Structure 1
Amino acid sequence: MKRKELEDKELKNIELEILKHIRNVCEEYGLRYYLAYGTLLGAVRHKGFIPWDDDIDIWMPREDYEKFLQIQHDSKGKYQVFSTRNRKDYYYEFAKVVDTDTTLEEIGFRPIKDYGVYVDVFPLDGVPCKLERFLLKYMFILKTATINIHPELNLTHKELAKLFRCIGKLGECLGAFHYPKQIDKIARKYSLASSDFMGYSLDKQMMHKSYFEQSVKIEFEHDFFDAPIGYHECLTRIYGATYMELPPIEMRHSVHNFIATLKE
């Protein structure tokens, strides 16, 4: 029998419960986390999800990120951390917290065993040197092309399908699982203590670490979660000074393409 695909509201409720779990773990162990990217924008502009968005992202400073992985890798509950440290078939350079009572298939990408609805957890590091920033981007392109086994089906890379297929053949020389480990290795070299700026290593926009010196509670879906005290500056760097304005109607759609279901 074919499983029933999760509706948008069901999917978001599951993601919200994962976020609450992350918050609870961080509060129990004294770890820092912050709402990030579209989740932070949604909290500020909509007090919840951006209506046409369908995922949750958070940041963690590297020290807290590593402790979180260590704590959660030993967890046997329904919420499991997926990372290159504990999954041989996992190919993202950042971690995800997955609800193992669900299944999720990302259309066009290589399958990941026991994958389900998730929340993305991005580590915050110092700024790599120019050469290594170039290497990070180069490896990211190779990795992305290699894991896109059907790029014409993926909403993000559909127009680049032929190019990605060619690059992916090159990327397979070392394997899809080589690149995220190398990206993570380079990113970990740059401590926050030695840099005035910080961010997720593959982002173009790095942010002054004063934005993250404290956290503030911000409303998201009738609950409250941590955001960086400089959330306005963060959103301005990522989305521009007009981030509070709604985008044109034709841009109000998700960039993700997946099928999520509940396990029987």
Structure 2
Amino acid sequence: MKLRANCKINIGLNVLRRREDGFHDVSTVMLPVRELYDELEIEPSGALEFVQRGLAVDCPPQENICLKAWRLMHARYGVGPVRIALDKRVPFGAGLGGGSADATAVVLGIDALFGLGLTEAERIDCAAALGSDTAFFVRNAPQLCTGRGEVMRPVRPALDGYTLLIVKPDEAVSTREAYAGVRPAVPAESLAELMRLPVAAWQGRVKNDFEPHVFDAHPQLARLKESLLAAGARYASMSGSGSALFGFFDDPQRAQNYTPPFDGVFLHRERL
């Protein structure tokens, strides 16, 4: 079975409060990035096997989240061993949810491969047990995500016809680093309210709470954001905990003509 695990961006990310379980309550809109994806192959096997090619990640293969997803499905449903081959294309440490997408793809793939017939609620529960972004990829459609990210409801930001441009420098930002410097607070304007506005009204109002301290520690990220706005993006922001930045362009030619202000920057463009 072959699967595509596309990534996501976060439109706004408000860290509302720290929870008793050590996690944080957040409010964020997640948007799938359809044309930037990892490829996975999953097939029954006599023994559990994991093979990775493509971009490197910062963990040993035996600790990859794809194997954690299989172990969870084995513990819950008794599924047999599989061979998982991952072709990694989504940059790591970018705030794009590439690892989360891979884990959810394994959950969905095993559900189909073994004929488990799980409901959407059961798939979401399995995915949510593996991380905070993972549940989103069960629906893989624009969602307003709250709680740890696993409480979702559909949202429709007015992005039809825009071009999305994602830029990511060589440096990465860990989730731990991002959360270490954040100051939780409830914003004056909710994301649900702000998503009713046109994209041109978002800048300065739809905020990512990680940006101030992450930009202080990684000034090149602030420079990339400013370069997107200078190039004509109607809205630009950091995605998740970074280090990827993105911009929405209503003029596709401006998005095509964008040149990063320094070398070593990954670029991805797609029409929405």
**TM-score bucket (shorter structure):** under 0.3
Higher strand fraction: Structure 1 or Structure 2?
A: 2
Q: Normalization by structure 1: what TM-score?
A: 0.26
Higher helix fraction: Structure 1 or Structure 2?
A: 1
Q: Normalization by structure 2: what TM-score?
A: 0.25
